[in-house]
Amino acid sequence: MAKNKSLNAAAKAKEDEFYTQLTDVEKELRHYRNHFKGKTVFCNCDDPFESNFFKYFVLNFNRLGLKKLIATCYTGSPIAGSQLSLFDVVPNAQENRPYKAVVTTVYDATGDGGVDMDDIAELFKQGENELSELAGNGDFRSEECLALMDEADIVTTNPPFSLFNEYILTLIEHGKEFVVIGSQNSVTYKDIFPLLMTDQMWLGYNNGDMAFRVPDYYEPRETRFWIDENGQKWRSMGNIAWYTNLDIKKRHEELILVRRYDPSVYPTYANLTGCINVDKVADIPCDYDGLMGVPITFLDKYNPDQFEILGLDYDSSIPGKTGLDECFVKDYYDQGNTGSITVGHPSLGYYKPDGKVVRTYRRVIIRNRHPEEPRRI
Ligand SMILES: C[S@@+](CC[C@H](N)C(=O)[O-])C[C@H]1O[C@@H](n2cnc3c(N)ncnc32)[C@H](O)[C@@H]1O
């Protein structure tokens, strides 16, 4: 596939081309199988000839009981055809034109005894499934792609990282069910955190490390970059998350709490009355019924029947939070700390029993809905 230089340059500037592996799609989506029966699935950032989301759904079409699968791509993929070539299906296709694939039937069209990507190509060629050029550029925000989104029940893909907030807000606005990949860093974004806090979206199963194929034009990097024996470039990221609003078992699993509240272990923030600091999710005390500031990794363990999320440390809407006072800031510098804080700084801070001041990393403010009875001292 010839490359469209200007589009590649734009994509390169934003570094949006990270191709998900089939094993990662399978590992996550096996937890959602019962959601897909009779549904129309839309992969809206997916070159049907390259995407492993498309491949997963088309090859599992009958097993999942899908009604329809739709995939649209933004431009011709900069990764050369490895699974199925557009030109196998449409010999006189225009290069780098955005395409739409609509699949409603999958069977052994080649008669070789099984269903694979050759059957998918054959079914496109025979016109049993539809492959057609899009009128526009395939942007998920374009009218024709939004109309396809409205037709779909569930949207699933790895969308462009640079447009993640807008992408999620579009799904929410169109009332879609979804399971999509993003960066874990997004959890604290002002458009994203409120959705997690109000149970409109939660994290899936396989959050953390993930490796992606990247186009040839991606520059080598010192870390988290390699070229495999076939010359394919790879990048990995340690902060990937699956975001979904489909109900999954994981969000009903109770976090086992073994620690008990002890004021000498769990200091109270100087600038959030009655809220204690908890440094590790595993150390959340089982018997504290007030506010607790916990690391954002808590979101990966969040069960809405067990906990309530009240806000984020920098969120000025948390009642009682006023920012760091003059005394705390003075102590902070007097004790040799060098980070930049000023009076009223929104991060949370506390005094350790030995008088040392500590400013925390980002914290989610939570409350246990059913704390155990405190131990009598
Ligand atoms: C992170 S990559 C993932 C590709 C594919 N979904 C996968 O999982 O392998 C995001 C893809 O979205 C495409 N893209 C970028 N901007 C887009 C837009 N506005 N609308 C639709 N797709 C877009 C990029 O070209 C890129 O191929």
232-287 residue pLDDT tens: 999 999 999 999 999 999 999 999 999 999 999 999 999 998 999 999 999 999 99
- d(CA 244, CA 299) in angstroms, rounded, equals 13
- d(CA 142, CA 162) in angstroms, rounded, equals 17
**Choice from 7, 16, 57 to test ligand 1 binding pocket (greatest atom count within 8 A of CB):** 16
Count the alpha carbons within 13 Å of 39 in the hemisphere toward its beta carbon. 23
In the predicted model, is pLDDT for residue 1 greater than 80? no
Q: What are phi and psi of 156, to 5 degrees?
A: -145, 130
In the predicted model, is pLDDT for residue 330 greater than 50? yes
C-alpha distances in angstroms, 319 versus 225, 273, 342, 368? 45, 9, 21, 17
**Burial class of 193 by CB neighbour count within 10 A (0 to 12, 13 to 18, 19+):** buried
What pLDDT score was predicted for residue 15? 80
Residues 196-219: tens digit of each pLDDT: 999 999 999 999 999 999 999 999
CB of 139 sitting under 6 A from ligand 1: yes
Mean pLDDT of the chain: 91
The pTM (predicted TM-score) of the whole model is: 0.93
Residues 18-30: tens digit of each pLDDT: 999 999 999 999 9
In the predicted model, is pLDDT for residue 308 greater than 50? yes
Q: In 80-163, which residue ranges form alpha helices assigned H by DSSP? A: 86-89, 117-125, 143-151
Residues 334-364: tens digit of each pLDDT: 999 998 899 999 899 999 989 999 999 999 9
Three-state SS for 295?
strand
Please give the structure tokens belonging to residue 263. Answer: 């004021």
CB of 20 sitting under 6 A from ligand 1: yes
Distance 72 CA to ligand 1 centre (A): 10
What pLDDT score was predicted for residue 374? 85
Mean per-residue pLDDT for 86-96?
71
> Could you tell me how many residues make up the chain?
377
Mean per-residue pLDDT for 184-205?
96
Looking at 3-7, 58-62, 85-89, 102-106, which range is the least confident one? 3-7
CB of 128 sitting under 6 A from ligand 1: no
Confidence of residue 148 (pLDDT cuts 50, 70, 90): very high
Give the largest CA-CA distance in the chain: 81
What pLDDT score was predicted for residue 321? 81
- d(CA 213, CA 230) in angstroms, rounded, equals 12
**Choice from 74, 183, 186 to test ligand 1 binding pocket (greatest atom count within 8 A of CB):** 74
- d(CA 184, CA 348) in angstroms, rounded, equals 21
Q: Please tell me what DSSP assigns to residue 178.
A: E
Looking at 59-68, 145-154, 296-305, 366-375, which range is the least confident one? 366-375
What pLDDT score was predicted for residue 130? 95
CB of 79 sitting under 6 A from ligand 1: no
Distance 283 CA to ligand 1 centre (A): 39
